[in-house]
Amino acid sequence: MRRYIAYVFLFLLIAVPFVFVGILHRVVADQPTVNRVAEFTPAHIERAKHIIKTNDPRTMKPGVLHTLTLSQEEVDLAVNYLASRYARGSSRIVLQPDKVILSASFELPSNPFGRFLNISALLHGSDGFPVFDQLQIGQLPVPEWLADTLLEYALQQLSTREDYRIASDTIKKISVANGRFTVTYDWQENLSDRIRNIMLPHEEQERLKAYQERLVEHDRSASDTTEMMLIDLMAPLFRLAAERSTNGDAMAENRAAIMALAFFVNGKEFGAIVPAVRDWPQPRSRVVLLDGREDFSQHFTISAAIAANASANWR
């Protein structure tokens, strides 16, 4: 009996690594099944502004259910953007009646098995977030019970994050019908402050503060006229970005400069999104012109801010 147990143990000791390697060869691949760039067109930007305007929290009563309806293109764009920003990947979403078909590819760290993890899934709507009907990782179909277990584990890990807790507390139902994705949510009284407090990490806030202070310095040294040229604002901010990039993150510094510029040009304060920065020094309100027009400078800086943040990875 002891010899039998020893043989079994020896067999498992030898076999398990081979099984593991075999699974890895079926799971990872040299090429992605989805390879897309997250691109925002002017039409996408205008649609996003419309969605924000029609779901303005200042007009919502706490405790009342609201609905947000998105087209397949809008859901597809948003998910692909999140995959690109947070997971070095790309995705594709197809909406069917009460079903969501998801395909995604994620670039892996250097390894001897393959560069990409390809995933395909079929999900259906439910109370809260969608759940799996099918899941395949690479060439390996995942049994339903294991897919559910993996999903439950992932949600447990996410539950430690404040952004997930906000979504979980707010979203009451997700449904798919007629090529549209509908989210039913409950806007709570303290939700605005909870969202603002997680929007920018502390390190990013410190960067933005440096550019805000440079804006104030430039404003104080400028004439008292109510109008300014956009190019005159860009010069001092991007000089500062070049200086700070010498021993820092050039992409992050330029992104912060663009954000500070966009908020100022559009007459907004950072305190509108992050309560902790309401005590920052504020420049005087100005009309900023591009080619003689204020709306040109506003559209230009908003588009630049969205493009700059499309590749950001703060978390």
- Of residues 27, 34, 44, the one with CA closest to residue 84: 34
Q: Does one domain contain both 115 and 169?
A: yes
SS3 132: strand
Q: If you average pLDDT over residues 182-188, what whole number do you get?
A: 80
Q: What are the backbone angles phi and psi of residue 169, rounded to the nearest 5°?
A: -70, -25
Give the domain-ending residue among 150, 167, 194: 194
In a domain, 221, yes or no: yes
Q: Does one domain contain both 129 and 244?
A: no
Distance of CA 77 to the CA centre of its chain: 11
- Of residues 150, 142, 90, the one with CA closest to residue 121: 142
* Residue percentage of the chain with pLDDT more than 70: 79
In a domain, 8, yes or no: no
Domain extent, residue 234, equals 200-310
pLDDT score of 44 more than 80: no
In a domain, 124, yes or no: yes
Q: Does one domain contain both 190 and 211?
A: no
- Of residues 75, 90, 173, 77, the one with CA closest to residue 124: 173
pTM of the model: 0.57
List pLDDT tens digits, range 276-293. Answer: 666 777 888 888 888 888
Q: 58 is written with which tokens?
A: 């200042």
What's the pLDDT at 19? Answer: 45
Domain count, the chain: 2
Distance of CA 121 to the CA centre of its chain: 21
Q: Does one domain contain both 206 and 165?
A: no
In a domain, 18, yes or no: no
List pLDDT tens digits, range 29-39. Answer: 888 999 988 77
Q: Does one domain contain both 210 and 298?
A: yes
Residue 152 parent element (H or E) = helix 144-158
What's the pLDDT at 311? Answer: 53
List pLDDT tens digits, range 191-230. Answer: 666 666 666 677 788 888 899 889 888 888 877 778 888 8
Q: If you average pLDDT over residues 9-31, what whole number do you get?
A: 58
In a domain, 106, yes or no: yes
Q: CA 215 to CA 209: how far, in whole Å?
A: 10
Q: Does one domain contain both 206 and 177?
A: no
CA atoms within 13 Å, Cβ hemisphere of 69: 5
Give residues with Cβ within 8 angstroms of 187, minimum separation 6: 57, 60, 61, 62, 64, 66, 170
- Whole-number Cα distances in Å, 196 to 40, 59, 200, 201: 24, 17, 8, 11
Q: Does one domain contain both 39 and 174?
A: yes
Q: What are the backbone angles phi and psi of residue 28, rounded to the nearest 5°?
A: -95, 160
Q: Does one domain contain both 232 and 261?
A: yes
In a domain, 5, yes or no: no
In a domain, 268, yes or no: yes
* Residue percentage of the chain with pLDDT more than 90: 10
Question: Which residue would you say has higher pLDDT here, 14 or 272?
Answer: 272
Q: If you average pLDDT over residues 78-107, what whole number do you get?
A: 87
